[in-house]
Amino acid sequence: MFSPKTTYKIIRFRFNDGRRNIKGGLSLEEAQEHCSSPKTHGEGWFDGYDIETEQEQRRRARRRR
């Protein structure tokens, strides 16, 4: 049985090209640490984070099998 816990995903935002998920399954602390790094933003883009949905967690779990 699937029992989700709260996990977070990293989203790369580009000012002209929208956004895409680049990483998932992170704790809040891991997501915050990633996004506070100087390497996670630049001219025209930045990384942010959001809570993963249960559907996203399930999809990620299936890919690992």
CB neighbour list of residue 52: distance below 8 Å, 6 or more residues apart: 7, 8, 9, 24, 25, 60
Which residue, among 27, 31, 30, has the nearest Cα to 10 in the 3D structure?
31
Q: Which residue has the higher pLDDT, 19 or 4?
A: 19
8 CB neighbour count, 10 Å cutoff: 21
Q: What is residue 31's predicted lDDT score, i.e. its pLDDT?
A: 98
CA pair distance 10, 30, nearest whole angstrom: 10
Q: What's the mean pLDDT in 39-52?
A: 96
- pTM, two decimal places: 0.84
SS3 18: strand
> Mean pLDDT across the chain, nearest whole number?
91
> What does the pLDDT read at residue 35?
97
Give residue limits of the domains in the chain: 8-64
- pLDDT above 50 for 1: no
Quote the pLDDT of residue 52: 95
